[in-house]
Chains A and B, each alone.
Chain A
Amino acid sequence: MYRISLDSIDNLFAAISAVEKLYIPADREDGQSYFTEWKEGVKLSDNLNTFRSAKGLFFPQVQDLVSFRTEGKKIEVIDTRKETEDFVVFGVRACDAASFGILDRVFLSDPVDSYYKTNRDHGTVMTLACNRPDETCFCTSFGIDPSDPAGDISCWKDKENLYLKSLTEKGEKLVYALKDLLTECDENAADTVKAEVKAVMNELPLSNLKPDDFTGEQLSVFNSEKWKELYRSCIGCGTCTFVCPTCQCYDIKDFNTGKGIERFRCWDSCMYSDFTMMASGTPRLTQLERFRQRFMHKLVYFPMNNDGVYGCVGCGRCLRKCPVSMNIVKVMKSLGGDAK
């Protein structure tokens, strides 16, 4: 394990960005933090978490896939991909770090999504343990430890120092490149910080929330009468899906430029009326069905198809952001026991 004084953290950022593009959580004018490319003067945010997760660095909200140019009867297919540069993302919390594992299961299983894989291959993830978890946090419900985040390099922060520990080859390489700035320290240096966070987690209101195992009883969950009540307040906006670190649905669209087609993909939301629209129509005609889809996907279908891994990491963004405060915790609590 290594340490660096917090007073010198800008030097660390400067050293990383001298080699690769670096993104850190930085506050904008609205007081929320956003993963921002580091430049001289960009300050690390004190916020617990970013408005949106780092998902967008690997799976951007909008991404060009391919272009077609037509001339008479000729169609030219143009590969619009550009050379991807290596980058580092610093300050990813344990919940968001765990979300990459969920996205990997979707995009890196056969057939591999080469757009996503390229970004994953080029990105180095530096996580940062939480210091002040919030009442909306429930990552522990999904077996995530906020005091011990995964990633290529895990970091901890106390009042004076930042502690770093590399966990992968990529992480090792980056730490090696930064070694002039870092001081080697005891493996237990971050233990006090870890213990403090764990103690706070136990005090938080959602600490005892446990996802029920619905996998054997999907039909009874699907048919539960409770959806009729739960969905009613939903205004059908895409907020929960767009701030979610694990939502991975996308739509592929063609933009007609007049001279050809630019094919792009963009995040989709199961809350939207044209979600999974096909030539034959959409299989989910009502908001009830679309609302149900979001939670069935995360709590039932995903674990069924992925060795019991839930499609939620308990980051709490949807709890903070839903305009009508209808969220996955309320759904879990309402449905819990219903299937039994």
Chain B
Amino acid sequence: MREQMISRACELLANGSVDRVIGWERGEFVYDVTPAVFNDAEDLKSRFVFDLFCGANLSKYLVSETAKGGKVLAFLKPCDTYSFNQLLAEHRVKRENFYIIGVECNGMADINRIREAGASGIKSISSAGDKVTVSTVYGDREFTLSDVIAERCSSCKSRHHVVYDELMGKDGEVLDSNRFDMVEKLEKMTPDERFEFWRGELSRCIRCNACRNVCPACTCEKCIFDNASSGFENKAAADTFEENMFHIIRAFHVAGRCTDCGECSRVCPAHIPLHLLNRKFIKDINELYGDYQAGAEVNERGPLVNFTQDDANPSIVNERGNG
């Protein structure tokens, strides 16, 4: 796939269809891939990479690329296309600035899962079919892809590209995903158990703001939490509940707009399953307003910014709370 992507990108650069290319750059090791902009063929051939570790969603970078103008070739995985559409709907990117090649994706690996399985001192990682071989200074380890795939990919919602100019590889289907399983488990807990679960998870927050900064739905020019004159600016918690509130408020802020790309959990250095907060909102929206997937369409009003006669009444809170 990598070679095909590079050669198509070179073609589009050469015939002037695009000015630059956004993709993933090879790292120091085999897995530490960095989002990058490429300007010419030589650049692409030496640095461009597309493999199991290109999980990073490039959509958010497109906000600043739009501001720079010109035409950018963006390679988007199915989940990335939902984020792109949502950014289009919110007027954060301009469609005419991008030539989108939708790339087939069958799930990305998570280096943390490889490490948790005990692999350290990694020298190289190769994959063939379903087999992933990790070569380390302490000997070789073999895994199946399902052992090392990212959580968000193991509950992939869709392999369908919702926006593209051309496709590379196959366009898949919207999947019947198991992504709400854990949310259901949490819903079945007693309020006290659920409270304990979240207190435990969120207590590891170091307030690095990586979840916010990587989130394609968090595109405020200046976040209230960075704004000293807001009265809410904080780099440190005043008490042990403040971090908890930060995450809950952030989940509210992106409710109805979150496409469930899972970047928040991918980047969290403390491995907090932040995506579960967003999935709870998505599940509730589906149940209260009918199935809705943010980013699936550009020109529709999301349920939380629309009004219909059938909308759930505020009293639903009491009914559910007692249930």
Report which A residues bind B (CB closer than 8 A): 28-32, 34, 48, 51-52, 61-62, 132-136, 200, 203-206, 232-233, 235-239, 242-243, 251, 253, 255, 264, 266-269, 272-274, 277, 319, 321, 323-327, 329-330, 333
Contacts and interface: CB of A to CB of B under 8 A. Distances in A.
B128 interface: no
Given A235-B213, A237-B210, A325-B33, A134 B235 contact: no
26 contacts: A29-B200, A29-B201, A30-B270, A132-B138, A134-B120, A134-B122, A135-B29, A135-B120, A135-B121, A135-B122, A200-B121, A203-B121, A205-B28, A205-B123, A237-B212, A238-B206, A238-B209, A242-B207, A251-B235, A264-B236, A266-B236, A272-B226, A274-B233, A323-B56, A323-B267, A325-B27
B36 A233 contact: yes
A32 B213 contact: no
Nearest to B237: A62
B212 to A, nearest CB: 8
A323 B270 CA distance: 12
Contacts of B29: 135-136, 205
Nearest to B32: A325
Interface string B193-214: 0000000110010111110111
Contacts of B60: 235
Contacts of B36: 232-233
Nearest to B120: A134
Given A205-B29, A233-B35, A242-B206, 13 more contacts: A30-B272, A32-B270, A135-B29, A204-B137, A235-B60, A235-B210, A237-B213, A238-B208, A266-B236, A274-B226, A277-B228, A323-B214, A325-B34
Contacts, number: 127
Contact of A204 (B121, B208, B222): B121
A239 B213 CA distance: 11
A159 to B, nearest CB: 15
A237 B235 contact: no
Contacts of A134: 120-122
Given A135-B123, A324-B56, A333 B28 contact: yes
A273 to B, nearest CB: 6
Q: Is the interface of B mostly helix, strand, loop or mixed?
A: loop
Interface residues of B, number: 46
Contact of A133 (B33, B121, B272): B121
Given A32-B270, A233-B35, A325-B33, A132 B228 contact: no
A326 B34 contact: yes
Contact of A132 (B33, B121, B209, B272): B121
B235 A132 contact: no
A136 B136 CA distance: 12
Contacts of B228: 274, 277
Contacts of B37: 232
A237 B204 contact: no
B266 interface: yes
B124 to A, nearest CB: 10
A134 B266 CA distance: 21
B235 A269 contact: yes
Contact of B270 (A51, A206, A233): A51
Contacts of A274: 226, 228, 233
Given A132-B121, A134-B121, A268-B235, A31 B271 contact: yes
A168 B270 CA distance: 35
A226 B33 CA distance: 18
